[in-house]
Structure 1
Amino acid sequence: MFPALVHPAHFHSLASFKEQPTPAAMQSGQAGGQAIVHTVAGIAIVSVAGVTVHRNGAIHPTGGTSSYEGLQIQIQMALDNPDVRGIMLDLNSGGGEVAGLFDLVDLIYEGRAQKPIWALIDETGASAAYALASAAHRIVMPRTAQAGSIGVVLGHVDMSSAMEKAGLSVTLIHAGARKVDGNQFAPLSAEAKARLQAEVDQLYSLLTSTVARNRAISESAVRNTQAALFTGQHAVKAGLADEVMASHDALQAFYDHLNGQRRPAAPRAHAQQAAAPVSAERPAFRSLAAKVYGS
């Protein structure tokens, strides 16, 4: 039992995940011949797909999960690479674990001082995944994409009645009064529930204050979303995104922005930025993006 930053629809996937140790290849910065950072026209494409976890033994999304550890490696390499002009976070995730999230969010937020960073929510950026997106300079999303679910959830399963019907009982031998709080073999006590609620509330404050900092909006505005999901233009109106556009147009827009040599301003809920001049030599991103995402 642990607090999670995940949309309830994805809670079971997170609960069934078993963290894997970090392999030696990942620790050494190698990825078995696979490119660690995908780039197109000077843009690093960092994919956040599936449930987000602290570690899963891989740099890139695998087995329906993305690890904060792998994302940190990709983002830091992109920041350090002089050939990378900007970073695009490509998100399709309902969120996931708390552990490791906020340090990665801070890395992205601080990385904005080094290079332009955009986030594309295509098609879900919820809870922990939205926290990652919020750290970017700018958030864009297709009209059917959903952003938000800025909240914390913790689940407790009481198996005591089912075990009693099965003729089973469990005795926990322990030291420390709070050691077995929240165990599944007994109903959740009022004291344990209050302690867990306080932990959830503390994490919620950290999440809402972090998103407010990243998006340059008030924390009350973040809390007023009530952890709801917002689709397309509604997300823009709520201050959770900056513009609605198709995914292939987002990559093109970012390239045009970089070509205009303008560093993006910090996000504002309703600010509209003028379009950057279009290069006559810009690449055809529909085909380039297909190569990146198909690699």
Structure 2
Amino acid sequence: MFKKISDIIKWIGQHFMGMLFLLIVLIVFLPSSHEPLRKANLQEIKLFGPIMDAEKIIKEIDEAKKDENIKGILLNVNSPGGAVPPSIEISYAIRALQKKKPVIAYASGIMASGSYYSAIYATKIIANPGAIIGSIGVIMESANIKELMDKIGIKPQLVKQGEYKEAGTPTREWTPKERAELERLTKDTYDLFISDVAKARGLDINNSKTYADAHIFLAHRAKEVGLIDEVGIISNAKDALLKETNITKPVWKKKDKLESFIEELSSQALFKVQSYFYGLKAEL
């Protein structure tokens, strides 16, 4: 009797890792029994965390645009913004997607600066009552660490060609010409930003001081100045999407569990490191 028990325990010990691996594979990759058999006809795309790179979300947008079964998109936004080029990439990708199928953008937390830029071409923008909207502006910053370098005895050496090649350096105070060059760059970027916002939202660009100028708004004030269409919660955003698509039996596309887990970890990590990786560049 004891030998049989011992043999069973020994077998379990020998095969435990294999059984555990098989169990994880089954949990992660096999569909749940309660999942509908019908093909998904709606999809949620999340724009969470600082916008440093657009590759992943652009891929999701392109796949949604090509998928004929997907009739509408919910763009769920909770982002403080980020770098200029990826914000514009996302914005223009949403514009192209919206021409083929409805896109409802939902501000679940923060839809500001670059993330607002990303959402402007949605069919409709709906914001949670407590959401922060706006911050239509551009910033470029760098520390001046010359005094610190002098104290610890560090002297920079460089060779350059071009008067403005050192513009934005943290090793000394900027010259008036360098500052003017950087101000022109941020002004050009800001003009592009407000031009696209005015065009997408049907706003008067000559009245941009009321809705742009880096103002930040709570949802109801954002609606008053025309930055969003409605104030509501996520169920309102989903209802709006159903109305736009005329879908009576919604089936939302689900990501596999492993992908969702990795996405959650990545999102949390991005929030924690957002202030460390921007460096000197124009940001929205």
Task: Establish whether TM, by shorter chain, passes 0.5.
Answer: yes
In structure 2, the partner of 1:52 is: 51
Asked if structure 2 preserves the Cα contact closer than 8 Å seen for 1:139 and 1:243, the reply is yes
Map 1:78-157; keep pairs closer than 5 Å. Answer: 78-157=64-143
1:33-72 paired onto structure 2 within 5 Å: 42-54=41-53, 68-72=54-58
Tell me, which stretches of 5 or more residues in structure 2 are unaligned?
1-27, 30-37, 262-284
Structure whose CA Rg is larger: 2
In the alignment, what sits opposite 1:244?
231
Q: CA RMSD in A?
A: 2.6
Q: CA deviation at 1:294?
A: 7.1
CA contact (8 A) 2:42 2:250 kept: no
In structure 2, do the counterparts of structure 1 residues 94 and 185 end up closer, same or farther at CA, with 3 Å as the change threshold? Answer: same
Task: Tell me, in whole angstroms, the C-alpha distance in 2 between the residues paired with 1:154 and 1:209.
Answer: 20
User: What is the rounded CA distance, in whole Å, between the counterparts of 2:210 and 2:150 in structure 1?
Assistant: 43
Residue 75 of structure 1 aligns with which residue? 61
Q: Secondary structure at the match of 2:61?
A: helix
8 Å contact 2:81–2:87 — kept in the other structure?
A: no
Shift of 1:183: 1.2
Residue-by-residue CA offset, 1:210-248 (whole Å, 9 max, x unaligned): 111111112233343321111121111010000011113
CA offset digits 1:9-38 (Å, max 9, x no partner):
xxxxxxxxxxxxxxxxxxxxxxx98xxxxx
Q: Which runs of 5+ in 1 are unaligned?
A: 1-31, 34-38, 55-67, 261-278
Distance 1:222 1:81 in 2: 37
Aligned residues of 2:117 and 2:197 also touching (Cα < 8 A): yes
Instruction: Identify the residue that residue 282 of structure 2 maps to in structure 1.
Output: none
More helix by share: 2
Deviation string 1:130-160 (CA, Å, 9 cap, x unpaired) is 0111110100011101110000000021110
Q: 1:40 Cα deviation (Å)?
A: 9.1
What per-residue deviation string (whole Å, max 9, x for no partner) do you get for residues 47-88 of structure 1? 00000013xxxxxxxxxxxxx111111111101100000111
- Do structure 1's residue 230 and structure 2's residue 229 form an aligned pair? no
- Higher strand proportion: 1
Moved runs in structure 1, 4+ residues, more than 3 A?
A: none
The 5-angstrom pairing of residues 199-210 of structure 1 reads 199-210=185-196
Deviation at 1:179, TM superposition (A): 1.9
Say whether the 8 Å CA contact 1:208–1:223 is kept in structure 2.
no
The code of the aligned residue for 1:99 comes to P
8 Å CA contact 2:102, 2:241 repeated in 1: no
SS state at 1:230 partner: strand
Q: Residue 253 of structure 1 aligns with which residue?
A: 240
1:101 match: secondary structure: helix
Residue by residue over 1:185-219, the C-alpha shift from the partner in whole angstroms, topping out at 9 and shown as x without a partner, is 11111100000000000000000001111111122
Provide the C-alpha distance between the structure 2 equivalents of 1:221 and 1:52, rounded to a whole number of angstroms: 28
Q: Report the residue type matching 2:103 in the other structure.
A: I
Distance 1:257 1:178 in 2: 51
The whole-number CA distance in structure 2 between the counterparts of 1:230 and 1:244 is: 12
Which of 155, 177, 187 is residue 191 of structure 1 equivalent to?
A: 177
SS in structure 2 at match of 1:96: coil
Query: Percent same amino acid among aligned pairs?
Result: 25
| Counterpart secondary structure, 2:177 | helix
Higher relative contact order (CA 8 A, sep 6+): 2
Aligned AA (2:100): Q
- CA deviation string 1:80-118 (max 9, x = no partner): 100000111100000000123323312211322211111
What TM-score does the superposition give when structure 2 sets the normalisation length? 0.71
C-alpha separation between the residues in 1 aligned to 2:62 and 2:205?
Answer: 28
Give 1:282 deviation, angstroms.
Answer: 6.0
Supply the AA of the counterpart residue of 2:50.
Answer: V
Q: 1:222 to 1:193 in 2, by over 3 A?
A: same
CA distance in 1, matches of 2:87, 2:128: 25
How far apart are 1:252 and its partner, in Å?
A: 2.8
The structural deviation recorded for 1:41 is 5.1
User: Aligned residues, how many?
Assistant: 221
The 2-side partners of 1:120 and 1:167 are apart by 52
